[in-house]
Amino acid sequence: MFIDWSWQKFLWLTSNTKDNVPVFMKELKQVNDFGEEIKIDFLKKKGLPSSYLKDGKLPLILDLYQQADGTKLSSKSNSLVRYSIHANDGILEMFNSDDASSIISQAAEILKNDSLKRSIRESKNQYPVGATEIKIAWIKTSEVVDSTKTFNITAIVNKPDKNLDENYNNVELQRMSMIGFHIFTVTAEHPEGVWSTFDQRDLAPDRTSFHGNPVNSKSDKYTLFDGNSVGNTEDGIIQDTTTLTPKVKNKVFQSHPEGVRYNQASQGMDVIKEDREFVTMIKSSNELAKKPLRMIKLKYGRTIN
């Protein structure tokens, strides 16, 4: 059920509004990694030149370059993967609530105290049904294998200083391509949020899949994987604690690319493999996702492929 729901949510977020703009860019607001809405006046104070504004509107800002665990990914030519975060009003209301401030102030204690976790779940306001946050991964369009298959947009990209801090005095407009789409949302009658992730197919080979190249692929037709590089592919997604990059560069692979589902009998997770129903749903969802993300004309930037 959740797999079916996740695909539908993804298709809705990437569908076009009447303004010919994807829903996620029209209905959600871009926020920073603290959940604060990104606003023009704030960026101006940080040093963003006014010349980067179009008709008083702000293009997409890509100043985040770390995954949730702090790891930094890059293409074969060392172009950093960037991220944008978008949230709807349901998420923002909770971020700005007194309950959220209280929880944040107790974060360290909450993480190691199960009884406190339960207490908070029972006593604090929960995210409202429909609250949605997404995190999108982007990379330079020149780095992707085939830009006719990706959602491309002109965005403001900052050049971080030597400490990798935000630096809006040193930014440029770049053509960027979407390569990943992570969704968190709240559904009715479910105690926790639901997460789902969608990736561009040609980022890396599959580790477990019913099709595609094996993980020991020698292909150079991937954005984040180099078939000619040397190293154990297990280390391609394991972080080096010093450099905060994968232990082996350019050996990223896609694990369980078609997703996993709950097995009620074993009470464990099953990898989706040769299931005709899911194969059909995957194929149809992939085809549907391609349609709204092509030939979209935005008011800022050029035509999206």
Chain segment 195-239, per-residue pLDDT in tens: 888 888 788 877 654 444 556 666 778 888 777 766 556 666 666
Is residue 14 in some structural domain?
Answer: yes
Is residue 60 in some structural domain?
Answer: yes
| Of residues 256, 255, 214, 258, the one with CA closest to residue 236 | 255
Better-predicted residue by pLDDT, 298 or 89: 89
**Mean pLDDT score, 120-147:** 81
Confidence of residue 302 (pLDDT cuts 50, 70, 90): very low
Count of structural domains, the chain: 1
Question: How far apart (Å, rounded) are the C-alpha atoms in residues 273 and 190?
Answer: 26
Three-class DSSP category at 106: coil
Q: Per the confidence metrics, is the pTM higher than 0.85?
A: no
Is residue 214 in some structural domain?
Answer: no
Chain segment 277-290, per-residue pLDDT in tens: 766 777 777 776 66
pLDDT number for residue 7: 78
Question: How far apart (Å, rounded) are the C-alpha atoms in residues 86 and 160?
Answer: 21
Which pair of structure tokens corresponds to residue 175?
A: 């053509």
Q: Is the pLDDT of residue 177 over 90?
A: yes
Q: Are 222 and 204 in contact (CB under 8 A)?
A: yes
Better-predicted residue by pLDDT, 261 or 155: 155
pLDDT number for residue 85: 92
Q: Is the pLDDT of residue 275 over 70?
A: no
Percent of the chain at pLDDT exceeding 70: 55
- The residue ranges of DSSP E strands in 88-170, in sequence order, are 132-140, 152-158
pLDDT number for residue 108: 57
Residue 278: φ, ψ to 5°:
-75, -35
Q: Are 159 and 108 in contact (CB under 8 A)?
A: no
Is residue 146 in some structural domain?
Answer: yes
Better-predicted residue by pLDDT, 48 or 112: 48
Better-predicted residue by pLDDT, 78 or 26: 26
Tokens 């993980």, located at residue: 215
Confidence of residue 296 (pLDDT cuts 50, 70, 90): very low
pLDDT number for residue 138: 94
Q: CA dihedral defined by 168, 174, 175, 177, rounded to 10 degrees?
A: -40
Is residue 81 in some structural domain?
Answer: yes
Query: What range defines the domain where residue 58 resides?
Result: 2-88+130-201+276-290
Name residue 268's beta-bridge partners: 263
Is residue 93 in some structural domain?
Answer: no
Three-class DSSP category at 289: helix
Average per-residue pLDDT for the chain: 73
| Of residues 163, 196, 172, the one with CA closest to residue 182 | 196
Question: How far apart (Å, rounded) are the C-alpha atoms in residues 18 and 23?
Answer: 10
Is residue 282 in some structural domain?
Answer: yes
Is residue 257 in some structural domain?
Answer: no
Count CB-CB contacts under 10 A for residue 267. Answer: 7
**Mean pLDDT score, 114-120:** 62
